[in-house]
Amino acid sequence: MESSLLYQAAREGKVAALRELLQLDNLILDKLFINNSFSETPLHVAAMLGHVDFVKEILNHKPDLAKELDMCRCTPLHLAVANGHLETVKLLLSVVDCELLCTSWDEEGRNPLHLAAMRGRIDVLRELLKVAPKACQVGLKGQSGTILHVCVRHNQLEAMKVLVDVIDNYQFVNAKDDYGMTILHLAVTHKQIETVKFLLTNTKIEVNAVNANMFTSLDILAQSQRSEKDFDIVESLRSYGASRTIDQPVPMKRPIIRDVIASPEIRNDHVHQIQKIQKDNNKETKNPEGWLVRKRESLMIVASLIATMAFQAGISPPGGLWEDHGTSYDESISKNVTHVAGESIISYYPNMSDYHAYLISNTVGFVGSLSIILLLVTGLPFCRKFLMWTLTVILWVTITAMTITYLIAILVAAPSHDILNTPAKVSLCLVVSWAGVMLLIALLHTIHVAIKLFKWLRNLIIKRIRRRKQNNIDNVETTLM
């Protein structure tokens, strides 16, 4: 009966009722250790509800109750922290060993600092860090990761900022969980753009750290579901030197393996995996065709844009379309010609050959871009020289056709009285620039082919000289024998 009255007083925070019960039985709080050892104490109830005066009165009579655990292995401090009762937290920390309480794990393997970070109790977290700063470096019991991982998983950026201000060293910020994931990996996985920016600008985070699967943050982002935040995250990561594993000349080596992998068999597998990546990188460096494989997505975007422009130029030529049926004078044949609504205006004057040239060049560009898209989506092995050469030629023809289309559009749309001034100068500059680019590319290719031919001839001559020397040596040995 007295116990039920004690718990009722704790729920209501009635200090007077507590004092009356203590007057009736001075040992009422001591009996809790015998009769109620596996459930919450009145101090748990009062701390959870934030009854500061009641908590203070209990601690005056029995301070050891602050160390007691409930059925979930929570101390009263756990409950006060989880509910954000700052004054209660201060009171509990003032009468008991702070380090002991702050490093105590509950049933889920969390200490009070983990709960404060998880719930976003910033004021409480600051108070805990004042009295026990080392407790934030205690990991989750039976779980992977640090308190910073907890902040990211529960999207508590402000709590992370408080923790980093207190402890900002390389090992703490770059700690990994059982899967080799740093907090940057997690922030990218959860698309937390503000967290990513904070880590890059205010911490010593390793931007190209790899997880147990040898994935960097950019690798994880590339494999995740697309969202509108991806562009901002990629831009932020790239601005701080982030790269994908395939782009790294030397992947993360022994430190990553030592931290993430304990088994020798698994370590050997990862060493083999790293060596394979290095070998592939060397192949791509020596083989320029690997560039095309990596840029397949970019080429697809470019081809799609060209196809869109060509389609739009085809249905909306310069000068527009006739809006009605009627008759117009054709200067090329010196007579009136009947036109129909929806037909191109420039096809009637001043010269139909201009429209034909425009239509042909635009169609070539449109078909060329569609051909590029078709070649890319079919998944053909572009590491073969012929296919790469075919794609390169189609791309060159497509870009040239779109340049001609633009040139004709300028000349056709220019006023007749001004065609020899600005339009002519623009056209001349365009032709000269394009011709210069083509000549430069041709010159570079010629030099490249000449160098290859020179090396081939040199190797051929060296082989023949060596073969002759070897033959002479064989003949001499045969003669001596």
45 and 136 in a single domain? The answer is: yes
Q: How confident is the model at residue 386 (pLDDT cuts 50, 70, 90)?
A: low
Rounded Cα–Cα distance for residues 329 and 125 (Å): 85
| 430 shares its domain with 307 | yes
For 398-425, the pLDDT digits (tens) are: 888 888 888 777 777 666 555 556 666 6
Tell whether 356 and 417 lie within a shared domain.
yes
For residue 336, the cross-strand partners are 329
What is the value of pTM for the model shown? 0.50
Residues 217 and 332 in one domain: no
Q: pLDDT of 36-62, one tens digit each? A: 544 788 888 899 998 999 998 888 888
Residues 122 and 48 in one domain: yes
The proportion of the chain whose per-residue pLDDT surpasses 90, expressed as a percent, equals 11
199-226 tens-digit pLDDT: 988 888 998 898 888 888 888 888 777 7
Asked, for residue 256, whether it belongs to a domain, the answer is no
Residue type, 274: I
CA dihedral 36→42→43→47, nearest 10 degrees, is: 130
| Element containing residue 329 per DSSP (H, E) | strand 326-330
Instruction: Specify whether 190 is located in the same domain as 245.
Output: yes
Q: What is the sign of the dihedral through the CA atoms of 440, 444, 445 and 446?
A: positive
| Position 352 in a domain | yes
The answer as to whether 262 is a domain residue is no
305 vs 91: CA distance, rounded Å? 66
Q: Which two tokens stand for residue 133?
A: 């700063």
300 and 437 both lie in a single domain = yes
CA dist 443 and 438 (Å) reads 8
Instruction: Give the structural domain span for 415.
Output: 289-467
Whether residue 213 sits in one domain with residue 138: no
Residue 245 in any domain: the answer is: yes
Shared domain for 213 and 138, answered yes or no, is no
- Burial of 336 by CB count in 10 Å (0-12 exposed, 13-18 middle, 19+ buried)? exposed
Helix (H) or strand (E) holding 326: strand 326-330
**Residue 441 and residue 384 in contact, taking contact as beta carbons nearer than 8 Å:** no
In a domain, 116, yes or no: yes
% of the chain residues with pLDDT over 70: 75
Which phi-psi region, left, alpha or beta, contains residue 319 (left: φ > 0; alpha: ψ -120 to 50)? left
Q: How many helices (H) and strands (E) does the chain have?
A: 24, 2
Instruction: Give tens-digit pLDDT for 101-127.
Output: 888 888 888 889 999 999 999 999 999
Domain check: are 409 and 304 in the same one?
A: yes
Asked if the model's pLDDT at residue 234 lies above 60, the reply is yes
pLDDT digits over 141-193, tens only? 777 788 999 999 999 999 999 998 888 788 888 888 888 899 999 998 888 88
Q: With residue 335 as reference, give the H or E element that holds it.
A: strand 335-339
Last residue of one domain, picked from the residues 108, 143, 178: 143
> What is the predicted pLDDT for the residue at 17?
87
Q: Last residue of some domain: 249, 272, 301?
A: 249
Is 272 contained in some domain?
no
Of the residues 109, 128, 143, the one at which a domain ends: 143
Please name which of 114, 123, 29, 134 lies closest in space to residue 84, comparing C-alpha atoms.
Answer: 123
Q: Are residues 1 and 76 in the same domain?
A: yes
Number of domains in the chain: 3
Report the CATH number at residue 80: 1.25.40.20
480 found inside a domain = no
DSSP letter for 140, please.
P
Residue 326 included in any domain = yes
Quote the CA–CA distance of 210 and 251 in Å, as a whole number: 8
Mean pLDDT of 292-297: 60
C-alpha pair distances (Å), 197 with each of 138, 201, 248, 475: 26, 6, 22, 75
Query: Is residue 6 over pLDDT 70?
Result: yes
Both 126 and 36 in one domain: the answer is yes
Q: Read off the pLDDT of each residue in 58-67 and give the average, rounded to a whole number.
A: 86
Q: What is the mean pLDDT of residues 377-386?
A: 61
